[in-house]
Structure 1
Amino acid sequence: MSHVLIVESSARQQDSISRQLTQDFTAQWRAAHPSDQITVRDVAANPVPHLDADLLGGWMNPEDQRSAAQHQALARSNVLTDELLAADVLVLAAPMYNFTIPSTLKAWLDHVLRAGITFKYTPTGPQGLLNGKRAIVLTARGGIHAGAGSDHQEPYLRQVLGFIGIHDVTFIHAEGLNMSGDFHEKGLNQAKASLASVA
C-alpha cells in the first residue's frame, strides 16, 4: 500500500481547473490503487504562514530557548514535514499565478525544506534525503508557457524537488485556458488524457 499526499493551492474553490484535475487524478488513482491512502493538504483553504523569524527560531534555537511562538511554528512545520515524509507519491496542484506558483504553495515548501530532515549539507554540497519518492505536478495556465522563458513553475519545482531528493517528477500542464478559440477545451482535454498515464 502506498501513501499519496496531494497539496492543493488554487485560490479558487469553484471553477478551479487545477482542482478539477486533482479530482480526476484522485478518481483514477483510487480505481487503480484502491488500498492506497490519500491525504489532501489544501494550503489555499488553510494557508500556512510564510517563513518568518518564529519558524527560523523554532528550527535553530535549542528547545529550552524557544519562545511559545517558536514552539508553535516548529510544531506546524513538523506536521507538514511528517506528511511529506510519510508519502510515497506527492501531487502538487498548482495554477500559474504571474508566471509562477501560488505564494501559498511556496510557503508550504518553505516549511518542508528542512536541513537534516529533507536534505542535508555535505562536503560536496547539499544532498536530498527523500530519494525513492515520486512527484506529479498538475498545473493550470491561462496562456501557453511550456518550454518558454515565461515558465517559472516547472524549472523552479524541478529544482526544489530535486534538492530534497525527488527526481522522478511528471508535469501535466493544462494550458491556453484563457485564450480565445478552442484553446481552453484542447488544453484541458490534453491534460486529462495525460492523467491516465500517471494514475
Structure 2
Amino acid sequence: MNVLYITANPKNVDDSYSLRLGEHFLNEYRRLRPHDKIEHVDLFSVDLPPLDKDMLSLWDKHSDIEETHTNPFVEQFIQADRYILVTPLWNMHAPSQVKAYIDQLIVPGKTFQFTETSVEGMLSGKKMIHIQSRGGIYSEGKLKGLESANSYIQTIFSLIGVTDYEHVFIEGTSTYPDEAEDRLKEAKESAKQVAQRFSQDQS
C-alpha cells in the first residue's frame, strides 16, 4: 500500500498536540503494516499555488483546456491508497494550507467526473483518517456545531469517492491545559483502535 501522511502544522512535533497524535497513529500503523510505503507531505514546506485560470477552466464542461492539464499534487494523491491527514483547528477551521492543497486535488477528469446530472468520484476504495487537535471543546456544549473543518474535509473528499473516512481528535488542550496530557493519552488510545481498522485490507 502507498500511504500519504499529510501534515498541516508549522510547529515542532513536541510542541503540537495534532502532530504528537499523528505520529502516534503513524507508528502504530507502521507496526501493523511494516512493508507499506509512507510518504510525508508537509503542507507548510511545499509551494501550493493558487488556482489559476487554466485550472478553473477544467470545471467548464466546454473547456478547450486539455484534460492532461494537471499538477504534481493530484498525481501523487491518485497514486496513494490511504491518506492520513493531520491538522490543528485554527479559528474554527483548518489552516489555509489545507484548503489550498484541496484545491489542487479536486480536478475534473482526475479525481471526479461530471455526469449528466451530477458528479461522480473517481477514487473509491481508498481510506482516509483525519487526526485533529482542538483547543476548545467542540464535541458538546456551547461550541458544538461551530467547528467546520472536519465536516468540510469529510464532505469534500467524499465528493471524489473517498468515503471510508474516520476522525480522531484531541480537544480542550487550551481550555483545560492541566488536563491536556491526560486528554492526549485518551486520544492515543482511540487512535490505536482506529489504526487497527485502517490497516485492514478492503473487503
Superposition TM-score, scaled by structure 2 size: 0.84
Q: Measured at CA, do residues 97 and 61 of structure 1 come closer, stay the same or move farther in structure 2, by a change above 3 Å?
A: farther
1:23-61 per-residue CA deviation (whole Å, 9 max, x = no partner) reads 112211111101100011101122412323364368866
Shift of residue 8 of structure 1?
0.7
Query: Amino acid of the residue matched to residue 9 of structure 2?
Result: S
Shift of residue 181 of structure 1?
5.5
Structure 1 residue runs without a partner (length 5+): 64-70
Q: Does 1:124 align with 2:117?
A: yes
SS in 1 for 2:71: helix
Q: Show the counterpart of 1:52.
A: 52
Shift of residue 137 of structure 1?
0.3
Q: Does 1:11 align with 2:7?
A: no
Q: Show the counterpart of 1:158.
A: 154
Whether the 8 Å CA contact 1:174–1:191 is kept in 2: the answer is: yes
- 1-structure distance, mates of 2:52, 2:117: 29
Q: Show the counterpart of 2:77.
A: 84
Q: Measured at CA, do residues 62 and 92 of structure 1 come closer, stay the same or move farther in structure 2, by a change above 3 Å?
A: same
Q: Show the counterpart of 1:68.
A: none
Alignment RMSD: 2.1
Q: Does 1:38 align with 2:38?
A: yes
SS in 2 for 1:4: strand
Structure 2 residue runs without a partner (length 5+): 196-203
Q: Does 1:141 align with 2:168?
A: no
1:101-158 per-residue CA deviation (whole Å, 9 max, x = no partner) reads 1100110000010011101111231111110000000001100113622110121111
Q: Show the counterpart of 1:189.
A: 185
Shift of residue 185 of structure 1?
2.3
Whether the 8 Å CA contact 1:47–1:104 is kept in 2: the answer is: no
SS in 1 for 2:153: helix
- 2-structure distance, mates of 1:124, 1:57: 19
What is the aligned residue count?
A: 187
Query: Amino acid of the residue matched to residue 195 of structure 1?
Result: A
When structure 1 is superposed on structure 2, of 146-155 and 181-190 the one drifting more is: 181-190
Q: Measured at CA, do residues 133 and 121 of structure 1 come closer, stay the same or move farther in structure 2, by a change above 3 Å?
A: same
Q: Show the counterpart of 1:174.
A: 170
Q: Measured at CA, do residues 13 and 51 of structure 1 come closer, stay the same or move farther in structure 2, by a change above 3 Å?
A: farther
Superposition TM-score, scaled by structure 1 size: 0.85
